[in-house]
């Protein structure tokens, strides 16, 4: 599995369009992208952009689309049940049985798969829920349900995992645990489609990003490429001189013969020096003319 990372496309979307029966416009308006095997692909956009709709199409829940969506080589609208053994899905609102314990939930969901399963106790231990394994899920906090829902999605070692806001509602420690598990899955060759508003998650986890707005794909590329492409070509320097803090900026082009910059370097007065890359948030604003409606960091600490 690991060996063929990046060798072929796990998902190929070509000119995808979708309109809800009740709607008068296409909420997905002709998007195309590819996701390579073993890649974490971040799908970003403001509320209403079309992220959930795309995710529902890619997981076979909405079939009346036009264009083509190949998942592991099969057109998803015609895919047979076997394909679902390869998929793991953890959407934002946990879909769990509240009157069963965590362990019972995992055993029940596990019975739906025709695949080797990871031991439920081990899964619960990975996300600090082992001590609560015999408690009813109805008594769980939102953060505990999120963690349970997450391990539920990986119990059959899916080859393609869909995650929707996986760290939303988690405290920083549990958010880090989930992110580390996600990185570990990538190491094993799992392909991951990650929908998020959280720019920190997007930047720290994703190999490839796509920004979507109004059902259209606005821009895609690696986080580093996007930041370079949309960043400003300059260096900012702060220095302390005679008790004052002074900020100066220098164009990166020709920096080697910029006398001011070279003098500053030699002066020994420099406190900080940074290249001015764009943040993902800046890029989004630049390419769409608006932000992600103030939801950049919804890592609220209420697990
Ligand atoms: P996102 O996940 O990016 O917030 P969605 O995919 O949920 O966006 O929504 C995209 C557009 O489709 C929005 O305009 C939304 O109002 C509309 N929409 C979503 N679900 C439905 C539905 N079941 N029926 C009709 N319109 C819908």
Per-residue pLDDT reduced to its tens digit, 138-161:
999 999 999 999 999 999 999 999
Name residue 220's beta-bridge partners: 210
Nearest-CA residue for atom 20 of ligand 1: 53
Same domain assignment for residues 194 and 237: no
Is the pLDDT at 294 greater than 60? The verdict is: no
- Domain boundary among the residues 223, 241, 263 is at 223
Same domain assignment for residues 180 and 260: no
Cα of 13 vs centre of ligand 1, distance in Å, is: 19
pLDDT band of 4, cuts 50, 70, 90 = low
Same domain assignment for residues 53 and 114: yes
Cα of 251 vs centre of ligand 1, distance in Å, is: 43
Radius of gyration of the CA atoms of the chain, in A: 23
Q: Which residues contact 60 (CB under 8 A, 6 or more apart)?
A: 71, 76, 77, 79, 83, 84
- Rounded mean pLDDT of 257-272? 90
> Within a domain: residue 289?
no
Nearest-CA residue for atom 12 of ligand 1: 27
Is the pLDDT at 182 greater than 90? The verdict is: yes
Same domain assignment for residues 162 and 252: no
pLDDT of 90-112, one tens digit each?
Answer: 986 668 999 999 999 999 999 99
Nearest-CA residue for atom 22 of ligand 1: 20
Number of domains in the chain: 2
Angle at the Cα of 85 (from 170 to 82), degrees rounded to 5? 155
Same domain assignment for residues 117 and 15: yes
Cα of 292 vs centre of ligand 1, distance in Å, is: 16
> Within a domain: residue 303?
no
> Within a domain: residue 281?
no
The whole-number pLDDT of residue 174 equals 95
Give helix then strand counts, H and E, for the chain: 10, 13
The whole-number pLDDT of residue 279 equals 79
Higher pLDDT, 7 or 22: 22
Same domain assignment for residues 188 and 259: no
Same domain assignment for residues 53 and 130: yes
> Within a domain: residue 284?
no
Same domain assignment for residues 144 and 272: no
Give the predicted TM-score (pTM) of the model: 0.84
With the most atoms of ligand 1 within 8 angstroms of its CB, the residue from 16, 19, 22, 23 to mutate is 23
Which of 220, 216, 287 is CA-nearest to residue 17?
Answer: 216
Cα of 210 vs centre of ligand 1, distance in Å, is: 18
The whole-number pLDDT of residue 298 equals 39
Cα of 27 vs centre of ligand 1, distance in Å, is: 7
Q: Which residues contact 131 (CB under 8 A, 6 or more apart)?
A: none
Ligand 1: residues with CB < 6 A are 20, 22-23, 27, 45, 47-53
Same domain assignment for residues 57 and 204: yes
Measured CA to CA, the distance from residue 115 to residue 83 in angstroms comes to 12
> Within a domain: residue 108?
yes
Owner of token pair 């119990």:
155
- Domain boundary among the residues 182, 197, 223 is at 223
Nearest-CA residue for atom 10 of ligand 1: 50
Residue 10 sits in which domain range?
A: 2-223
CATH classification of the domain holding 123? 3.40.50.300
The whole-number pLDDT of residue 300 equals 37
Cα of 24 vs centre of ligand 1, distance in Å, is: 12
Cα of 50 vs centre of ligand 1, distance in Å, is: 6
Closest ligand 1 atom to Cα of 56: 6
> Within a domain: residue 293?
no
Closest ligand 1 atom to Cα of 212: 3
Burial of 2 from C-beta contacts in 10 A (0-12 / 13-18 / 19+): exposed
Same domain assignment for residues 257 and 171: no
């Amino acid at each position: 599995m690991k060996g063929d990372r990046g060798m072929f496309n796990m998902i190929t979307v070509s000119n995808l369009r979708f309109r809800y029966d009740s709607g008068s416009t296409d909420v997905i308006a002709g998007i195309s992208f590819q996701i390579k095997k073993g890649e974490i692909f971040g799908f970003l956009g403001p509320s209403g952009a079309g992220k959930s709709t795309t995710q529902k199409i890619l997981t076979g829940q909405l079939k009346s689309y036009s264009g083509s969506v190949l998942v592991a080589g099969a057109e998803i609208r015609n895919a047979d049940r076997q394909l679902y053994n390869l998929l793991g899905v953890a959407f934002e609102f946990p879909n769990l049985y509240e009157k069963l314990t965590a362990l019972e939930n995992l055993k029940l969901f596990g019975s739906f798969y025709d695949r080797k399963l990871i031991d439920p106790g081990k899964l619960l231990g990975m996300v600090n829920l082992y001590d609560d394994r015999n408690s009813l899920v109805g008594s769980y906090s939102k953060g505990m349900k999120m963690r349970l829902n997450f391990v539920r999605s990986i119990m059959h070692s899916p080859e393609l995992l869909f995650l929707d806001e996986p760290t939303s509602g988690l405290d920083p420690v549990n958010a880090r645990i989930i992110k580390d598990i996600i990185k570990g899955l990538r190491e094993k060759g799992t392909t991951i489609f990650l929908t998020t508003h959280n720019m920190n998650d997007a930047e720290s986890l994703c190999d490839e990003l796509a920004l979507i707005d109004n059902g259209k794909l606005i821009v895609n590329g690696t986080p580093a490429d996007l930041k370079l492409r949309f960043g400003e070509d300059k260096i900012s320097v702060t220095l302390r001189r005679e008790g004052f803090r002074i900020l100066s900026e220098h164009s990166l082009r020709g920096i080697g013969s910029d006398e001011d910059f070279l003098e500053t370097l030699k002066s020994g007065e420099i406190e900080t020096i940074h290249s001015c890359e764009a943040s993902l948030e800046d890029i989004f604003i630049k390419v769409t003319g608006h932000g992600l409606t103030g939801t950049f960091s919804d890592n609220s600490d209420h697990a």
